[in-house]
Structure 1
Amino acid sequence: MTSQSQGIQQLLQAEKRAKDKLEEAKKRKGKRLKQAKEEATAEIDHYRLQREKDFRHKQSNIMGSQGNLTSKIDEETIAKIRDLTSNYHKNTERVIGQLLDEVYGIDPELHVNYAYTI
């Protein structure tokens, strides 16, 4: 009987060692998963920061060029307004003179369809 109880004891100890090894393996697996998750999160953060930096750089290039276009358009508009104003002041008297000539320069004449009867 002692050999049976010794056999049972050995089986129980072997079962306990197997259970301990299994728990240890689960803990190692959990640690590896946690470490992999942390590494992935760090890599994702690094990638996100890099992409945001690239985006800001491109955005500043585009917005900077739009700002230059806006200032160029404003300068051209001011130049056109200045030209129109100077042309207005140059031609005002000439146009008014032409209008007055048309209004006051009336040559009375008979209409073509007027039947002259004597």
Structure 2
Amino acid sequence: MTSQSQGIQQLLQAEKRAKDKLEEAKKIFGNKLRQAKEEATAEIDHYRLQREKEFRNKQTNVMGSQGNLSAKMEEQTAETIQNLTSSYHKNMESTMKKLLSTICDINPEVHPNFRHAV
């Protein structure tokens, strides 16, 4: 009986050691998994920041800065307004003369369809 109980004790101890080793392996696996996840997240963040920086550089090169676009638009608008104003002042007098001559210079004529009663 003692040998049987010793055998059972050895089996129980072996089972306990196996359980402990399994628990430790699970902890190690969990730590490695967590570490791999953290490294992957850091790498993803680094890649994302790099791509966003490249995108902003390309956007700036293609479109220019917003302040620059706004200033260009204001400059073009002011130039257009100035051109229209100068064109108005240049053509106003000649247009008014043509308009007044058309309205005021009346040449009375008999309409061709008017039949003179005899």
TM-score scaled to structure 2, two decimals? 0.71
Identity %, equivalent residues: 67
Structure 2 distance, partners of 1:38, 1:108, is 98
Partner letter of residue 85 of structure 1? T
Paired residue total: 118
In 2, the alpha carbon distance for the partners of 1:63 and 1:25 equals: 56
Q: Which residue of 2 aligns with 1:75?
A: 75
RMSD value, Cα? 2.8
Name structure 2 gaps, 5 residues minimum. none
Partner of 1:101: 101
Deviates more, 1:72-81 or 1:100-109: 72-81
- State the shift of 1:63 in Å: 4.5
Q: 1:7 to 1:56 in 2, by over 3 A?
A: same
| Partner Cα separation in structure 2 for residue 90 and residue 9 of structure 1 | 116
CA distance in 2: counterparts of 1:99 and 1:2, whole angstroms: 133
> Within 2, Cα distance between the matches of 1:102 and 1:59?
57
Provide Cα deviations, 1:18-71, integer angstroms capped at 9, x if missing partner: 222222222222222222222222222222322332333334344426655554
